[in-house]
Amino acid sequence: MFPRFTQRVNEKPEDGGRFESSGHRNETPGPHEPFNPSAAPSRRSLRGLDWFVFFIADVQTGFGPFVAVYLTTQKWTQIDIGLVLSVAGLVALFGQVPGGALVDAARSERRVAGIAIVAISIAALTYAAWPIFPAILSAAVLHAGASTVLGPAIIAISLGLVGHAAIGDRLGRNARFASIGNGIAAAAMGACGYFFSARAVFIVTAVLLVPTLLALRQISDSEINPERAHGGTPKRTNKTAVPFRDLLRQRMLLTLACCVALFHLANASMLPLMGTVLTARSSQWATALIAACIVVPQLVVAAIAPWVGHQSQIWGRRPLLIMGFAALPIRGLLFATVTNPYALVAVQVLDGISAAALGVMVPLIVADITRGTGRFNSAQGIVGMVMGVGASFSQTLAGYVAYHYGHRAAFLGLAAIATVALIATVALLSETRSRDDA
């Protein structure tokens, strides 16, 4: 049986199965906290969060495909590169839950985020200064571990600043600034690698520590409600969070995690597979077309993510989540049938729609479900880990089908998985928006 604080799921299904321990939620901190629950966050703090998200996206872009390029220029073998990337991937995957739990346990999400960004900058300097296997492996593990903390910390800061009623708009704004940061950073770091060297990418990444920390300093720690940043604690005398094991009994949370995992099982390999198709059809223009396929979704996310966040407070979470899931099977079918390379770039608009919808809705729904538990960030870690498992199998599955049955069959197979994810979302996930936040 569920603990007592979950029994209201059956009493109020319209609230989406949130954990609650009494007839009202606790969003006020303990008597030792200086936070004023009636005060809105200052413009300075909100702008600081905008720029912090922007610069974080810049920093993380430096650890994308540039790693493999850089290590290749240092005469590394593909086996060694693959081993480093695999170890980092495993740390990033299985560190999701501990990372979220660490953020839930912290009393200053801003301090946690600052430490994480310093660790990532140290990793970047290590890449640039010591391209030897032990140092690079340690740097990759350090970067992966810090990233598992940094992601939840950003969302926790956002929730702690604005509260549940305004978190949809805030997550949409975060997605916009992250998308703009990714696009600008990819272009700038690509230019650094072209005009200088691949090592320059990691030097620039480390230097970005300065504006990132300056932006973080603009966020007032006293305006971040630590209890609210963790999802709020139940109305208990000792103000403790609910036991972690109770998250694993929450049907709505686990259903969301499985649906998102199916989505990424279908999605993660779709663009790389299309890259191989474009290369086979037009090797001269393949690089430019793939770059366009990456940029187009970023532009779409930057354009519509704030709208998605705002509409989630009006329409609810479910319609927008379904919209994001529905775009993926359509994209898979178009990739399987469209042959014009420029039309394929246009199809990537659907990728932007999915990215905007899921990027905003998934953490927002997790916040709804875990409201009043003190385990918001731990729950994010659970969803992130399950999602990562789905994404990790995507390349292998698509590659196997493409090798034996052709690219069209692979795209159709991915579209079929995306359809299953859509059906499961429609059938099993109910609305989680609170009537109080409408």
Q: What would you report as the CA-atom Rg of the chain, rounded to the nearest whole angstrom?
A: 22
Number of domains in the chain: 2
**56/159 same-domain check:** yes
Whether 156 and 377 have beta carbons less than 8 Å apart is answered as: yes
Q: Are residues 294 and 212 in the same domain?
A: no
Rounded CA-CA distance 219/279 in Å is 45
Residues whose CB is less than 8 angstroms from the CB of residue 289 and which lie 6 or more positions away in sequence, other chains included: 278, 282, 341, 342, 344, 345
59: domain CATH number is 1.20.1250.20
Residue-level pLDDT at 81: 87
Whether residues 165 and 312 fall in one domain:
no
Could you tell me if residue 344 is inside a domain? yes
* Same structural domain, 221 and 308: no
Please compute the mean of the pLDDT values over residues 107-136 and round it to a whole number.
Answer: 93
* Judgement on whether residues 264 and 381 belong to the same structural domain of the protein: yes
Whole-number pLDDT of residue 23: 36
Give a yes or no: residue 37 inside a domain.
no
Question: In 3D, which of 351, 356, 359, 353 has the Cα closest to residue 335?
Answer: 351
Does residue 94 sit in the same domain as residue 56? yes
**What is the distance of C-alpha 170 from the center of its chain?**
14
Residue 172 lies in a domain: yes
- Asked whether residue 166 falls in the same domain as residue 188, the answer is yes
Share of the chain above pLDDT 70, in %: 87
Residue 38: pLDDT above 80? Answer: no
Judgement on whether residues 131 and 274 belong to the same structural domain of the protein = no
Torsion angle, alpha carbons of 146, 151, 157, 159, to 10 = -150
- Mean pLDDT over each residue of the chain, to the nearest integer: 85
- The two three-digit tokens of residue 40, written as one number: 């809105």
Task: Answer yes or no: is pLDDT of 308 > 70.
Answer: yes
Look at residue 251 in the predicted model and tell me its pLDDT.
93
Residue 380 lies in a domain: yes
Q: What's the mean pLDDT in 304-319? A: 94
Question: Does residue 250 come out as left (phi exceeding 0), alpha (psi in the -120 to 50 range) or beta?
Answer: beta
Looking at residue 190, what is its pLDDT?
Answer: 77
Q: What percent of the chain has pLDDT over 90?
A: 56
Residue 211: inside a domain: yes
Q: Are residues 186 and 302 in the same domain?
A: no
Query: Which stretch of 161-175, 229-243, 244-258 has the lowest confidence by average pLDDT?
Result: 229-243
In a domain, 19, yes or no: no
Mean pLDDT along residues 132-147: 94
Are residues 84 and 146 both part of a single domain?
yes
26 pLDDT higher than 60: no
Q: Is the pLDDT of residue 434 over 80?
A: no
Same domain, yes or no, for 330 and 427?
yes
**352 found inside a domain:** yes
> Domain boundary residue among 175, 210, 230?
230
Q: Which domain holds residue 393?
A: 242-438
The pair of three-digit structure tokens given for residue 199, joined into one six-digit string = 């090592």
Residue 70 lies in a domain: yes
pLDDT exceeds 70 at position 363: yes
Query: pLDDT tens for residues 267-306?
Result: 999 988 888 887 777 666 666 777 788 889 999 999 999 9
Based on the fold, state whether residues 268 and 202 are members of the same structural domain.
no
Q: How confident is the model at residue 4 (pLDDT cuts 50, 70, 90)?
A: very low
